[in-house]
Structure 1
């Protein structure tokens, strides 16, 4: 009997196996948000009947992503500041300036997720193809990336493949909604 109890105790305290390359929840959130943001902006900036201008469109997407990432990070700083207590001498007990900077810089996946769209638009600026084709390619790429990120997030959370594919398909719907809206609006 004692041997069984010892065996159960060892199993209960066994550490979970985690991957060193496992994406964090915040990275997944920021990455998916960045893909949706880039898709929506690319679709909105590519208007029919106007002169194609993919270079400035790419710049607007990048600047919007940088601003959004900074705003998200700063919102985390404000939320953390609101939850920290002040000490008797009136100073905040909690995050340092470096910690706050790390909170803002942790939003880098949002910006990174927009870079493929920016790169695709810049190839149109270089004359490799028309801006409309570049936007359509970026929307397709981002939609497939949403499926991949959603599937990866579900697998990371421990879901089996069928469930992970369903989660990826739901994330992919965000991209499909943008593609359909882009087609209907134009």
Structure 2
């Protein structure tokens, strides 16, 4: 056993078997990034004095997430190309496609905007619901990431609260700006 592993075990971090339900780090990163992106985009939609048009707004949020996902994945491809050979490979396509959690994270906000298109509620209500949902989801993703890293419940809830703070900052900024 290495000295580092022994040191970690003494500090109370037990060795964990890999969980089949443990998401890859990239999925957690992309999911959290997608929630923050969705919150920022949705908050920007609710401009005072503008005519609400939730259909195009939902499309705009989705297309922006797709473009961000592709750009982020392509940045990984460029970084890999710079560090190794320059040939295009299937693994590079996988780098781009691995950003799917970013797009998936904006889908609840898009669905809430589409509910406004259907007349179930006003766009401003959809925006408020999406901001609230994303803030709670940020807590969940942060706590889940900490739990899968082996942290206890108090520490995981603290990590979730810090992630949730990002959503609260967006909500407060949205309220102050508008």
User: TM-score, normalization: structure 2?
Assistant: 0.90
1:78 paired with 2:78, answer yes
Q: Which residue of 2 aligns with 1:42?
A: 42
Based on CA coordinates, which of the two structures has the bigger radius of gyration? 1
- Which structure 2 segments of 5+ residues have no match? 1-14
Cα distance, 1:17 vs. partner?
Answer: 0.8
Q: Which runs of 5+ in 1 are unaligned?
A: 1-14, 86-91
**1:99 corresponds to 2:91:** yes
Question: Residue 127 in 1 paired to residue 115 in 2?
Answer: no
Aligned to 2:167: 175
Matched residues, number:
166
CA distance in 2 between counterparts of 1:102 and 1:96 reads 11
Q: Which whole-Å CA distance do the structure 1 matches of 2:132 and 2:98 have between them?
A: 27
2:72 and 2:173 mapped to 1: Cα distance?
26
Match of 1:143 among 130, 135, 139: 135
| Corresponding residue for residue 64 of structure 1 | 64
Contact in 1 for aligned 2:147/2:153 (Cα 8 Å):
yes
CA RMSD of aligned residues (A): 1.7
Q: How many angstroms apart in 2 are the aligned matches of 1:16 and 1:168?
A: 21
Structure-2 residue corresponding to 1:17: 17
Q: Secondary structure at the match of 1:39?
A: helix
- Higher mean Cα deviation, 161-170 or 96-105? 96-105
TM-score (norm 1): 0.86
After superposition, give the CA deviation of every residue in 1:12-55 in whole Å (9 maximum; x if it has no partner): xxx84111110111000000000000010001011121111111
Indicate which of 154, 157, 170 corresponds to 1:162. Answer: 154
